[in-house]
Amino acid sequence: MLTDLFRYQDSPLFTPREKTAIHFADMMSGDHKQISQDLFDELRQHFSEPEILALGWRIAMFVGWGRLSAALGLDDVGRVCPLTAVHGERQIQSQIGTRETV
C-alpha cells in the first residue's frame, strides 16, 4: 500500500474518500495556496465540516513537524524509522515490477 501512495489517484487500494483525503494532504504539504474551492467541494462529498477541520489539523501538524525537523537539522529522523527501510524496498520492487511482501 505504501508504494501505491505515489499513484493513489489510479490505485484500486484506496476508496474515493481516502483518495480525496490524500489529495488534501498532498496539496497541504506542497503549494497550499493553490487549494481551491473545488477541493473543498470534493472533501464535502466524503467528510462533514468537523471531519474536514480535524483532517486539516492533523495534516498541518505532520507537515509542520516535518518542516521543524528539517529546520532543526533532524533529517535523520526518517532514516531511523523501520518503515523507511520497508518503504525503500517497496519502491525498488515497484520500479522493477515485483510484488513480493516485505
pLDDT band at 101, cuts 50/70/90?
A: very low
Read out DSSP for the chain?
Answer: -TGGGGGTTT-TTS-HHHHHHHHHHHHHHS-GGG--HHHHHHHHHHS-HHHHHHHHHHHHHHHHHHHHHHHTT-GGGGGGSHHHHHHHHHHHHHHHT-----
Amino acid symbol at 77: V
Tell me the average pLDDT of the chain. Answer: 82
- Burial of 43 per CB tally in 10 Å (0-12, 13-18, 19+): buried
pTM score above 0.75: no
Per-residue model confidence (pLDDT) at position 17: 97
For residue 52, the Cα-to-chain-centroid distance in whole angstroms is 15
